[in-house]
Amino acid sequence: MFKRMDTDTMNWIIIIGVILFVAEVTFFDSGLIFSFVFFGLMTYVGWKRYARSWGKVVFWVGLVILILTIINTMAVRFLVLVFGIMLLVYYSRSKSQPSRTEPSFTEEPFMEELYEVEPLFRHKLFGDEKTSDTAYEWRDIHIHGGIGDRVIDLSNTVLPKGVSVISIRQMVGNIVIHVPYDMEVSIHHSAVLGRSEILGKHHTKLLGQQVAYQTEGYGVAASRVTITTSLISGNLEVKRI
């Protein structure tokens, strides 16, 4: 069903869902934001202390209530309704226009050989991640995270010529990046709620703000790193090592 859906249709469904969510939070139930933040933090704290009995209770209570809160929003109800209608339409079309499979004798197009590359980080809804404590081969990082901490140590790898990229978009958690003294970097960070310490520059309170810094030799360095991070709630620390 989803393979037959064009991207524009999917984008419109997502846009309408977002508009409904914003409208619900703005005009009908402003307490939803507090509920998301509170139970999200509750889930995060429980996950960090999951080894203890009270941590397990806090984690599961926070997670269950957070899921129920999300399910009860107008946006989710709209998406369920839309996908239910689409399922009925798809089923109706499949009955009236069954798909046919016929042999094809056309020459196979040339396929360029590709090699799968193991990423340094995975998209994870829960859990912490860090780079290896020993030497590792560098690969650009592009991840979306849920709840957890991310630690990246650039002193254990060799960066290639040109621009290396670290892009992390995280819901709740902390991001720590260790940068060698001779490495030139550009940092762009945004946070709904949190703090940042970027190469000695402190921001003790970030409330829906963006900060950006660049080292002096970034524009002319043969090898340099662009760091882009965003957090809903959490702290960013970029320090020399």
pLDDT tens digits for 34-66? 888 888 888 888 888 888 888 888 888 988 888
Q: What pLDDT, in 10s, does the model give residues 188-236?
A: 999 988 889 999 899 888 888 899 999 999 989 989 999 999 998 889 9
Comparing CA positions, the residue from 165, 147, 144, 148 lying closest to residue 230 is 144
pLDDT at 204: 86
Q: How far is CA 208 from CA 152, 232, 236, in A?
A: 24, 9, 14
Q: What pLDDT, in 10s, does the model give residues 127-172?
A: 778 888 888 888 898 988 888 888 999 988 888 898 999 999 988 8
Q: Which amino acid is at 234?
A: G
Whole-structure pTM value = 0.61
Report how far residue 90's alpha carbon sits from residue 86's, in angstroms, rounded to the nearest whole number.
Answer: 6
Q: What is the mean pLDDT of residues 4-24?
A: 72
Report how far residue 2's alpha carbon sits from residue 83's, in angstroms, rounded to the nearest whole number.
Answer: 10
